Amino acid sequence: MERTFVAIKPDGVKRGLIGKIVQRFEDKSYKIVAMKMMNVTPEIAAKHYEEHFGKPFYDKLIAFITMGPIVAMAVEGKNAIKGVRHLVGKTNPDEADDGSIRADFSSYSTTNLVHASDSPESAERELNLYFSEKEICNNYKNMFELVLDELGEE
**52 an active-site residue?**
no
Residue among 77, 76, 75, 60 nearest 112 (CA) = 60
Sheet strands (E) in the chain: 2-8, 31-38, 70-77, 114-116
Residue among 77, 96, 74 nearest 1 (CA) = 77
Residue among 69, 63, 67, 60 nearest 13 (CA) = 69
Judge whether 107 and 11 are in contact, CB under 8 Å.
Answer: no
Q: Exposed, middle or buried by CB within 10 Å (0-12, 13-18, 19+), for 86?
A: middle
d(CA 122, CA 128): 10
Q: Which of 48, 52, 86, 115 is catalytic?
A: 115
Which are the catalytic amino acids? 115
